């Protein structure tokens, strides 16, 4: 078997594994499980199907951004580039997990692509680093990473303020509140399904790889759709088999959370995700959700841990550059052992 | 109330019914001490025996437990169990006080002591009646429950100060340190204070519930 075929097989397996890990790390369902709205297994099945469906039917434009549009005119991925991108983002995410730092796989992937392409341009004669990437697309992407959490914050803050002014603050007794929260729990169910669909749709780091393989001619369009469906199935399996532990753990800390609060956070974050997905922008769901929670806290005049937030922001910014350096170094390693 | 009717009640209604029963029991204790002051031992014992022998609370507890586990409440279930348990704690403390009081027929040392005890009892009565009102309001008006709980805390403070004063007077009486009268009166004052302390704790919990549930503009 040729080296290229072996590489493609490795990339496909890694892409599918990435889809599985997206499901395994998805914590969106914890709000639903914490509120005890449905049975645990049913919640997993509903969430898994929604994420899988989002990935299968709605991820194409975001995948196109990562797999094609981010590249400069006339530039295509090579198998080693894709491999370097995957290895570097996986290494950085593993380091982040061991260090207990929540990192974005999207930022990590795009950072790695940036690093790999810069090294590629420097190593190839005639390829200018200023044209190797579509900097217009890249800058709109980076801007969206800053704007999406901010919009998440503002949207949640305003949504809470409006809901509280016209409805929540008028509830006076436990009976009334219980009844209202019971109704909100159904809205939470709908909003979580909605959120899961857009989480699946915005999971660019996985589907983008397959688009990249299709764009360079290693996969046909039929192959691409076949693997997207496989990824959708593996996202479901990831949630159902491994994600359940993350979800259960987080849900056990959320038993006191109000379904109305969960609904406000989920609907706000999913709207941001939806808008970004429709604009073909892969963003970090976890960043958006953290800022949505902060927006709710600000609305409720709760204390905000600015120190922890600052620390998190530093890692968010660093992710792009560290993943870039890592990606570049790995690609350089491939070059130096003359595999390319 | 017959068992059948108890089973038909909603969780909120059972809680209120239990609170009413507990308040009634504690009012009987206060009345019993009033009888003790005027040395009407027959009525005193009658009231305290009512407290000890009334076993209705077991039925109420069972009805509440069976309702709460089957309940579809998803948000306030745990808090309702805690409210019910706190009422039960008040009831238990009342029963302990009643049992201790039945151990001996005391005669108060003088009129001043009687008046001071009466004053404490008035404060305890206010605290317990306000607590009943605060518990009744949690279903419909948590803001009211919060305000009444604040009043309970203020009344409790007055009761505490008065009780310290009374205890200090008790220690300064010319009587044998180990006499039954001294021990009985000391236990009586402490029993009243424990009951008031528990009511104050309960009021604090009700204020916590109000801040947890209410959303202000």
Q: Is the CB of B142 inside 8 Å of chain A's CB atoms?
A: yes
CB-nearest to B215 from A164, A174, A256 is A164
Nearest CA in chain B to A259: B75
User: Cβ contacts (< 8 Å) between B12 and chain A: which residues?
Assistant: 174-175
Interface test with B, best of A36, A178, A188, A260 (most B CBs within 10 A): A178
A133 bridge partner residues: A71
Q: Point out the residues of chain B with pLDDT beneath 50.
A: none
What does each C-alpha distance from A106 to A94, A205, A316, B171 come to in angstroms? 14, 6, 11, 75
What does pLDDT average to in each consecutive run of 10 residues of chain A (340 residues)?
83 89 84 83 93 93 91 87 90 78 84 93 81 92 94 96 94 91 92 94 85 88 93 93 83 77 94 95 90 91 82 85 94 79
- pLDDT recorded at residue B8: 84
User: Cβ contacts (< 8 Å) between A259 and chain B: which residues?
Assistant: 74-75
What does each C-alpha distance from A44 to A56, A154, A239, A240, B142 come to in angstroms? 18, 30, 7, 6, 36
Interface test with B, best of A174, A179, A258, A259 (most B CBs within 10 A): A174
**Could you state, in order of their start, the residue ranges of all structural domains in chain B?**
3-213
User: What are the contacts of B125-130 at 24+ separation with CB within 8 A?
Assistant: B125/B27, B125/B30, B126/B155, B127/B152, B127/B155, B127/B156, B127/B159, B127/B196, B127/B199, B127/B200, B128/B23, B128/B26, B128/B27, B128/B30, B128/B90, B128/B195, B128/B199, B129/B23, B130/B155, B130/B203
Nearest CA in chain B to A166: B217
Q: Of how many residues is chain A composed?
A: 340
Q: Is the CB of B4 inside 8 Å of chain A's CB atoms?
A: no
- pLDDT recorded at residue B30: 97
CA A249 distance to own-chain centroid: 20
pLDDT digits (tens, 9 = 90+) for B116-169: 999 999 999 999 999 999 999 999 999 999 999 999 999 999 999 999 999 999
Tokens of B169: 């007077």
Q: Is the CB of B73 inside 8 Å of chain A's CB atoms?
A: yes
CB-nearest to A172 from B73, B80, B143 is B143
Nearest CA in chain A to B73: A178
User: Cβ contacts (< 8 Å) between B142 and chain A: which residues?
Assistant: 172-174
Domain B3-213 CATH class label? mainly alpha
CB under 8 Å to B210, separation ≥6 — which residues?
A: B142, B143, B145, B146, B149
Kindly report the backbone phi and psi dihedral angles of residue A133, in degrees, each rounded to the nearest multiple of 5, phi listed first.
-120, 155
Contact A239, A47 (CB under 8 A): yes
Q: Is the CB of B209 inside 8 Å of chain A's CB atoms?
A: yes
- pLDDT recorded at residue A148: 95
Cα-only R_g, chain B: 19
Q: Does A169 sit within 8 Å of B215, measured CB to CB?
A: yes
Apex CA B63: angle with CA B57 and CA B67, to 5°?
A: 145
Interface test with A, best of B15, B75, B141 (most A CBs within 10 A): B75
CA distance B80 to chain A (A): 9
User: Cβ contacts (< 8 Å) between A180 and chain B: which residues?
Assistant: none
Query: DSSP secondary-structure letter at A133?
Result: B
Q: Does A175 sit within 8 Å of B12, measured CB to CB?
A: yes
Nearest CA in chain A to B217: A165
Question: From CA B76, how far away is CA A178, in angstroms rounded?
Answer: 6
Question: From CA B45, how far away is CA B28, in angstroms rounded?
Answer: 10
Q: Does B75 sit within 8 Å of A258, measured CB to CB?
A: yes
Q: Is the CB of B20 inside 8 Å of chain A's CB atoms?
A: no
Nearest CA in chain A to B12: A175
CB atoms under 10 Å from CB of A58, counted, come to: 17
């Amino acid at each position: 078997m040729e080296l290229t075929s072996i590489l493609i097989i490795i990339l496909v397996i890694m892409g599918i594994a990435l889809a599985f890990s997206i499901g395994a790390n998805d914590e969106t369902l914890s709000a639903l499980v914490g509120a005890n709205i449905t049975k645990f297994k049913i919640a997993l099945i509903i969430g898994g199907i929604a994420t899988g469906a989002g990935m299968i039917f709605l991820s194409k434009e975001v995948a196109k951004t990562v797999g094609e549009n981010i590249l400069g005119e006339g530039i295509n991925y090579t198998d080693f580039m894709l491999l370097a991108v995957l290895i570097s983002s996986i290494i950085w995410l593993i380091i982040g997990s061991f260090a207990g730092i929540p990192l974005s796989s999207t930022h990590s992937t795009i950072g790695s692509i940036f690093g790999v392409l810069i090294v590629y341009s420097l190593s190839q004669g005639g390829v200018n680093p200023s044209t190797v990437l579509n900097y217009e697309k890249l800058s709109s992407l980076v801007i969206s990473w800053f704007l999406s959490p901010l919009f998440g914050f503002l949207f949640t803050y305003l949504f809470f303020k409006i809901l509280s002014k016209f409805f929540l603050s008028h509830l006076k007794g436990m009976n009334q509140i219980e009844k209202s929260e019971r109704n909100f729990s159904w809205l939470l169910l709908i909003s979580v399904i909605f959120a899961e669909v857009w989480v699946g749709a915005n999971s660019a780091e996985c589907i983008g790889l397959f688009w990249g393989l299709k764009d360079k001619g290693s996969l046909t369009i039929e192959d691409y759709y076949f693997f997207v469906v496989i990824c959708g199935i593996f996202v479901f399996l990831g949630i159902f088999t491994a994600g359940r532990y993350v979800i259960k753990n987080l849900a056990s800390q959320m038993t006191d959370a109000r379904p109305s609060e969960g609904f406000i956070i989920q609907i706000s974050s999913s709207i941001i995700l939806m808008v970004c997905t429709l604009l073909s922008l892969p963003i970090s769901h976890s960043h958006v959700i953290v800022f949505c929670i902060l927006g709710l806290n600000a609305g409720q005049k709760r204390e905000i841990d600015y120190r922890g937030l600052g620390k998190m922001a530093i890692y968010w910014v660093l992710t792009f550059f560290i993943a870039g350096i890592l990606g570049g170094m790995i690609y350089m390693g491939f070059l130096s052992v003359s595999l390319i | 109330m017959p068992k059948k009717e108890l089973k038909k009640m909603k969780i909120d209604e059972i809680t209120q019914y239990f609170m009413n029963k507990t308040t009634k029991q504690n009012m009987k204790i206060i009345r019993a001490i009033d009888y003790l002051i005027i040395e009407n031992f027959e009525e005193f014992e009658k009231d305290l025996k009512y407290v000890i022998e009334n076993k209705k609370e077991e039925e109420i507890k069972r009805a509440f437990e069976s309702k709460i586990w089957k309940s579809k409440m998803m948000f306030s279930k745990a808090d309702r169990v805690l409210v019910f348990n706190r009422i039960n704690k008040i009831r238990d403390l009342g029963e302990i006080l009643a049992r201790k009081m039945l151990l001996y027929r005391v005669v108060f040392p003088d009129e001043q002591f009687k008046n001071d005890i009466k004053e404490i009892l008035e404060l305890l009565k206010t605290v317990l009646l306000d607590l009943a009102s605060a518990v009744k309001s949690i279903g419909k008006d948590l803001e009211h429950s919060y305000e009444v709980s604040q009043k309970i805390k203020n009344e409790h403070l007055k009761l505490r100060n008065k009780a310290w004063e009374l205890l200090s007077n008790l220690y300064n009486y010319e009587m044998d340190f180990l006499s039954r009268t001294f021990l009985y009166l000391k236990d009586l004052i402490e029993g009243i204070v424990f009951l008031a302390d528990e009511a104050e704790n309960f009021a604090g919990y009700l204020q916590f519930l109000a801040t947890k549930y209410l959303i202000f503009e």
